[in-house]
Amino acid sequence: MSNMSVPKAPRIWQLAERRYRLVGSKCLKCGRLFVGLRKVCPQCKSTEFEYVELSRRGKIYSYTVIRAPPMEREKYGPYIMAIVELDDGCRLTAEIVDCSSEEIDIGTEVEATFRKIGEESESGIIYYACKFRPVVKGV
Ligand SMILES: [Zn+2]
């Protein structure tokens, strides 16, 4: 790991980037768990959260193969978007990578993998996208 500092990003995202972990928000009032950073709980309207680390593993809840990708990614061809249900019950939409659509199904176990998607040179912020790949059994 490098020592590159990320001065302006909120601390929690620095940690997420540095440690490649999934960050979620837990409502302190009703206990509901959300993916990413939340300001207001849609369930109880509370604005108090604690930030928690979400499970990096889950399974495919549903998926779809995008055969007509947006223009900027045409060269990559079709790709798989899935709703992943994490082990702690959170659901999120993410791209499934490192496999073809024939290799996955509903219920396939997947794990988070972080891919660098861009860098903002002025502020030094590095953007990561959380994607998922099938869990390789027996490794
Ligand atoms: Zn709540």
For residue 77, report the distance from its CA to the centre of ligand 1, in Å.
Answer: 40
Task: State mean pLDDT over 65-89.
Answer: 82
Residues whose CB is under 5 A from ligand 1 (ion)?
Answer: 27, 29-30, 41, 43-44, 46
Least trusted range by pLDDT, from 50-54, 99-103, 121-125, 127-131: 121-125
For residue 51, report the distance from its CA to the centre of ligand 1, in Å.
Answer: 13
Please name the residue ranges forming H helices in the chain. Answer: 11-19
17 near 4, Cβ under 8 Å? no
For residue 25, report the distance from its CA to the centre of ligand 1, in Å.
Answer: 10
SS3 69: coil
pLDDT digits (tens, 9 = 90+) for 2-61: 455 545 555 555 555 555 568 889 999 999 998 888 889 999 999 999 988 889 999 999
